Structure 1
Amino acid sequence: MKQFDVERPGRAEREDRPITTTTPTHRLLPHPRDLVRFGPHDGAHRPAARVAVSVLVPLVVLATIGHVEWAPYAVFGAFASAFGRGLPRFQRLEMQLEAGLVLVACVVLGTVLAASSAPVWLLVVTIGLVAGLTSAVSDLRRWSPPGPLFFVFGLGVSAFVPATASTVAVAGVVAPASLGLALLASVAGALLPAGRRALATAEGRRWRRGPRPVDGRRTVVHAAVCLVASIAAGLLSLALSVESPYWAMVSAVVPVVGSATAGQLVRAGHRLLGTLVGVALAALLLAWHPGVAALILAFGVLQFATELLIVRNYGLALVFITPMALGMRALGGAPVDVGALVAARTADTAIGVGVVVVVLLATHRLRRPRPEAAA
């Protein structure tokens, strides 16, 4: 593909399901080889570069002004750049703005909850409700990547980071500013010759995505599974006194995207296995005790690698995104108990994956195609 940012029709739509499996939607269990199957590269370096720049620039700015402790608020605003890959520029921008505003709202809500010293069980229930709501909105608005992952993660991190009333104002400024930078990075390619050629086409100038039928039953089931599985995982993590139950909740919502139970189970396997390898890599990174500059540079590389692989093989992508997620704690300069952190994340991941697998198996029949649809 010679033109910058001119993607083949339908590429973004393929993100509505894991491309690592071709298992029919009626099958319950996947084939083991689905765990190691790779999708095509499909120009992944372009969105990977956009997302890496969108995440890296705010971190550099915060380090420059001496406030790297604000990094979580900046990162989740920047994650809007991950949406709409494969879409023409203006349609991508529309999706990123929609999802980005919801991300900012989740970050601010989480910071408000943290500043209010709300009980942990209330945080878990609130995150679960947001998981169900954003799952439904994502399906209805056809966001790509689908599902509530980013919103649950952003709300969870913000709710569990210590905050005061002044921190709420910080989150309310940093997250939208980071979103703005992400949107600028998304349209920057229009300055290049290939980008201008893309804008000269009717598809390149079109703002709205074409209509597509919405599967109401699938939307409701997805939302219900995300709600139930995330709250159950969070409360179980809390009952077992595992640190940061939001991590278990994130792991519980990740596999829900897609309509085939077999594909969802593959994604659950990816979540577990990829995290296990990723926490080992995180332990090596944190044991090195890198400075802020080295850590930010490592985050940029890890984010780029993640976006290169996220659609091709989710499990391998997790190997790279997990060290970044865990390494955020080290940015503030506070000492990190690497062993305890790795153990907690491993336990939370196992809890979340275990819970969602049970829920997915229990609701398998609800996602099977209707007889009239198959006819």
Structure 2
Amino acid sequence: MTDAGPQSGKGRQRLSSARDELSELFVPRSSDRPWAYPVAIAFAAALPLFIGAGFGAISQATIASIGAMTLTYMPRSTLDRRLVTIMAAASGMICCFALGQIAQIMPELRVFSLVLVTFFVTCGCRYYRIAPPSNLFFVIAASIGAYVPGGLEQMPQRLGIFALGCMSAIIVGFFYSWYITRRREPVDPEPPPKDIAGDVITDSLAFAFIIGLALAMAERLGFDRPYWVTISCLAVLQGPHLKAVWRRQLQRIIGTMVGLLLTAFVLSLADTPWHLAITVFVLMFLIQAIVVRNYAMAAVFITPYAITLAEATIGGTVNPAPLMAARFLDTVLGSLMGLLGGFLLHVDAIRNPVRCAVIRVLRLRPVRQ
């Protein structure tokens, strides 16, 4: 009897902690993001689809829509710095997509190529302190370029279409920046980190390793779209600390499960190219408006958005059920791999030996932690 009381109390405490943790997954946070921002992102993503619908080339327009995600790298700064940053991001996105396309020539080196892209892109994002989405869309561009269906003769056309999507983002970014800089004060950019070995190189090695491992597993398991695993993995890794990574992988999986229930309804709405463009606009607006407030709720809309674009890419003539099942499996694998990457990034017992090895190999000056 004397032991039952403390054990029962500990059990209730654990149950209460679990309930609190679960409830925090769905608690929205406050955000100062202006509503004009998700409108601009949604318009940039949907604009290529509206043009593609008009010219009867909706499957090609989906590639341009991905390039339009360049706009997400627009900083809160002055007009000139905003435009320079967007143009630099567009150049990087185009290069990443091109490198992914080149990797199709030698499929056996595809994973290794994407590992290199992930490492160098992450180095740049960490050094210049690019805020989330950070390396996300750069690696996504390379991954989609490496796995998008089509022959070698279509590569120049796909690259040109992707570049047009990036250019449309620059145009939208100019008008949005002209509007918003009159209403919001700019924020000074952060200086580069002092600990290059830890904050830049070690973290980039962790990202590259986990992305390579995730892609290799996806290919080994025969997944049709290994880049979906990459997307989920990178999205989870955007958490600033291990608890945030743990929470994001749960939010990603739960949000995807709920989003799959919404997908069938969304696909019924996107039954024509024009309806598809409108649907993408609405979904992207909801994603960008909600993602800074609660990631689980945003993941509910990310799932139908991704499947809708995949359906459009292949012409929308297949049963969407396999796409939905594949999306769930890819999300689970990617989220779990992202959690593993979180340990590599945020557990000092794992991270510090790698950092020390980087210092020794590159002969960098150590910085006190």
Residue in 1 that maps onto 2:79:
89
* Structure 2: 5+ residue stretches without partners: 1-19, 353-365
Q: 1:62 to 1:346 in 2, by over 3 A?
A: same
- Which of residues 218, 226, 248 in structure 1 aligns to 2:229? 248
Say whether residues 1:158 and 2:145 are aligned partners: yes
- Which of residues 174, 193, 203 in structure 2 aligns to 1:213? 193
Residue in 1 that maps onto 2:70:
80
> Mean Cα displacement is larger for which, 166-175 or 225-234?
166-175
Contact 1:260 1:367 in 2 (8 A): no
Contact 1:248 1:351 in 2 (8 A): yes
Say whether residues 1:110 and 2:100 are aligned partners: yes
Residue in 2 that maps onto 1:349:
331
Over residues 251-299 of structure 1, what are the superposed CA-to-partner deviations in whole Å (9 max), with x where a residue is unaligned?
Answer: 2222223442111212222222222222332233225561111111100
Which amino acid in structure 2 is aligned with residue 179 of structure 1? C
Say whether residues 1:44 and 2:31 are aligned partners: no
- For 2:43 and 2:33, locate their aligned partners in 1 and report how far apart those are by CA, in whole Å: 17
Contact 1:234 1:248 in 2 (8 A): yes
> Mean Cα displacement is larger for which, 215-224 or 72-81?
215-224
- Which of residues 289, 312, 316 in structure 2 aligns to 1:308? 289
* Structure 1: 5+ residue stretches without partners: 1-29
Residue in 2 that maps onto 1:295:
276
Please list, as runs of the form range in 1=range in 2, the aligned pairs for 1:208-287 lying within 5 A after superposition.
Answer: 209=189, 211-216=191-196, 217-287=198-268
Q: 1:358 to 1:188 in 2, by over 3 A?
A: closer
Q: 1:87 to 1:37 in 2, by over 3 A?
A: farther
Contact 1:222 1:257 in 2 (8 A): no
- For 1:110 and 1:190, locate their aligned partners in 2 and report how far apart those are by CA, in whole Å: 31
TM norm structure 1: 0.79
| Partner SS for 2:318 | coil
- For 1:309 and 1:86, locate their aligned partners in 2 and report how far apart those are by CA, in whole Å: 19
> Rg larger in 1 or in 2?
2
- Which of residues 125, 135, 144 in structure 1 aligns to 2:131? 144
Residue in 1 that maps onto 2:121:
134
> Mean Cα displacement is larger for which, 306-315 or 138-147?
138-147
- For 2:250 and 2:367, locate their aligned partners in 1 and report how far apart those are by CA, in whole Å: 29
TM norm structure 2: 0.80
Q: 1:48 to 1:134 in 2, by over 3 A?
A: same
What value does the CA root-mean-square deviation take over the aligned residues? 2.9
Structure with a larger share of its residues in helix: 2
TM superposition shift of 1:69:
1.8
- For 1:252 and 1:214, locate their aligned partners in 2 and report how far apart those are by CA, in whole Å: 27
| Partner SS for 2:25 | helix
Which amino acid in structure 2 is aligned with residue 162 of structure 1? P
Identical counterparts, % of pairs: 24
Which amino acid in structure 2 is aligned with residue 341 of structure 1? L
- For 1:50 and 1:150, locate their aligned partners in 2 and report how far apart those are by CA, in whole Å: 17
> Mean Cα displacement is larger for which, 95-104 or 31-40?
31-40
Residue in 2 that maps onto 1:171:
158
Contact 2:269 2:275 in 1 (8 A): no
Residue in 1 that maps onto 2:6:
none
TM superposition shift of 1:362:
5.2
Equivalent pairs, count = 334
Contact 1:140 1:214 in 2 (8 A): no
Q: 1:317 to 1:291 in 2, by over 3 A?
A: same
Residue in 1 that maps onto 2:342:
360
